[in-house]
Structure 1
């Protein structure tokens, strides 16, 4: 059978085994092959194999999936190479008159790659008493575009005393939004887990777990994002730093009685070398991997304590870690950001160290205090020597 006698459906089936470079070459052979290679079915599968979420629902059309794939993969290539001016533009966003306390993206998953249009909106809060939102891609004077933020009136739904002594130091919500781990200020108290369904359904019985079995001084907690409710807790037992992980589940005792139970998954002891005696930052990745920064070092561990990788790319302390399914970015007081990418492998997760993003001059800045990243930009908080912070935004060119 000759290639000319194949139906378009047969050609599409054969093309489904090709990678993107081969598919693009096949499209140049003749009109029939081009028609088959442009099929929505092929490019939709290409996109969904590479990315879990593709936001093209508002842009119907035969060419949408192909354009989405080519634009987004091109942007990922630029985020992996990080060539100044060629791959990204950098600008300072000024406006706050004090320390920037926190920042968060408001535009998660809103990028429409198929049209070549992207928009990253970053929200910041400051000690100057203001909340600001910035369009990272907006070019101009560097002052950014300020948005007015509105919210519905808030009313109290539930109030409950969690600890008999002391207050609440910090709370962390699970990736599925169903659980909140509450950390007490009183070191004599242990962490507890709260079921958020009770907050939205106040008529139901309050479900609060027994204290988690970690009685030592807690240092850091983080969720493992690929599990609905798996948390890792770093604590100091007086001699060593230990990391213990739990799965939070509801255990049905009877028809009307349910309890929150913390099922231990694993635990291990961290090495006690000098760099690990400093302040630590911990983030989760997947189901079984945690990243820990202490001093100048960034390390990857399995939940059972196997050290997977170690990096020492900064020459001053690491101040924060950003982790998502594609990238890891660290900020440091050496006034740089270090960008890593996850390596596609069926074995243990591994990182590739890519490049540094520089934050300016130490004459005016003391270093990066925090960093955040989305699919198209990286934003860091730069601590000013005069007590006034700015944002340093790196927007990758589509």
Structure 2
């Protein structure tokens, strides 16, 4: 839709058409916001915003008209992720006392007066990252850290709805869980493909594991710590603090899909000085967009065309 969404320190949400210097619409949340999620549904596009009070706002696009407001937690909503089929929205905070919740999106888009939206708390605290499986739309994998040693683990759930006693309830069935070895540096980012594998970084390395904890691949394409990872059903992108970008593709041969290393781009941009900030990259199967921030005052936007 050629639109971009931002939120400032005062909690004002804005939508931009990327051509005019003025925002198309604004919506005051009045609290700091740490999560934005755009959801393209059969009923149109919506924006979901999580704030520091634990509220989730659902707004129309591009008007930013309020549709619903739900109080999800006592703490900040740090994570918001819509499922690929737009049936669910996952919400969580990184506070250790928060249990993640999954909402039935239709209840947020068409709220019923006096009724709480259909939701389910997932019995796994200390969630620090989550991702839906692009090819298995009701499967979600959570990354969590627990204990004084902050051990990192992954747990995977399948979600479903069921009619019981004349009402609909959400059920979550745990299908796999495992802890990483204690010697591994705790990852920050993760991604998924077919629902049976997860990809994550650890230091300068990229790993591919099954959801049960079996290591399939390890890549050593970066010299410095991987600072950002982005994944969809086709590609995985990694960037490191030396401004290098590496591109991988999912391959479908054999029992499990695996990652194929495609290309490595060194020193993004003309400035060879390493960044003080982590570069970020995304891909749409036609092009790659990468943001490199050298300092607080300026960033470089780099675009690449993909050719196969």
TM over 0.5: yes
Name the CA distance, whole Å, in 2 between partners of 1:122 and 1:159: 23
CA shift, 1:168, in A, is: 2.1
Stretch of structure 1 that moved more, 285-294 or 356-365: 356-365
Report how far residue 346 of structure 1 moved: 3.4
Judged with a 3 Å threshold, the aligned counterparts in structure 2 of structure 1 residues 354 and 161 are, in CA distance, closer, same or farther, namely: closer
Residue correspondence of structure 1 range 1-398 to structure 2 within 5 A:
147-148=19-20, 150=24, 152-163=62-73, 165-184=74-93, 186-203=95-112, 205-215=115-125, 217-238=126-147, 239=149, 240-255=151-166, 257-274=167-184, 276-277=185-186, 279-358=187-266, 359-360=268-269, 361-363=271-273, 365-366=275-276, 368-385=278-295, 387-396=297-306
Report if aligned partners of 1:336, 1:368 keep a CA contact under 8 Å in 2. no
CA offset digits 1:45-80 (Å, max 9, x no partner): xxxxxxxxxxxxxxxxxxxxxxxxxxxxxxxxxxxx
Distance 2:276 2:235 in 1: 25
Cα distance in structure 1, aligned partners of 2:83 and 2:164:
23
SS of the residue corresponding to residue 63 of structure 2 reads: coil
Distance in 2 of aligned mates of 1:126 and 1:157: 18
CA–CA separation in structure 1 for the residues paired with 2:145 and 2:3: 36
CA distance in 2, matches of 1:132, 1:155: 15
- Secondary structure of the residue that 2:66 maps to in structure 1? coil
User: TM-score when scaled to structure 2?
Assistant: 0.75
Shift of 1:391: 0.6
| 1:168 counterpart SS class | coil
Give unmatched runs, 5+ long, in structure 1: 1-105, 107-120, 134-145
The verdict on how the C-alpha distance between 1:260 and 1:345 changes in structure 2, with shifts beyond 3 A counting, is same
- Structure 1 residues 127 and 201 mapped into 2: Cα distance closer, same or farther (>3 Å)? closer
Larger radius of gyration: 1
Q: By percentage of residues, which structure has more strand?
A: 2
Q: CA deviation at 1:384?
A: 1.6
Relative contact order higher in (CA < 8 Å, ≥ 6 apart): 1
| Aligned-pair Cα RMSD in Å | 2.8
Deviations 1:137-167 (A, max 9, x none): xxxxxxxxx534755422222222223x323
Report the TM-score when normalising by structure 1.
0.59
* CA distance in 1 between partners of 2:207 and 2:214 (Å): 11
Instruction: Tell me the number of residue pairs that the alignment of Structure 1 and Structure 2 aligns.
Output: 262
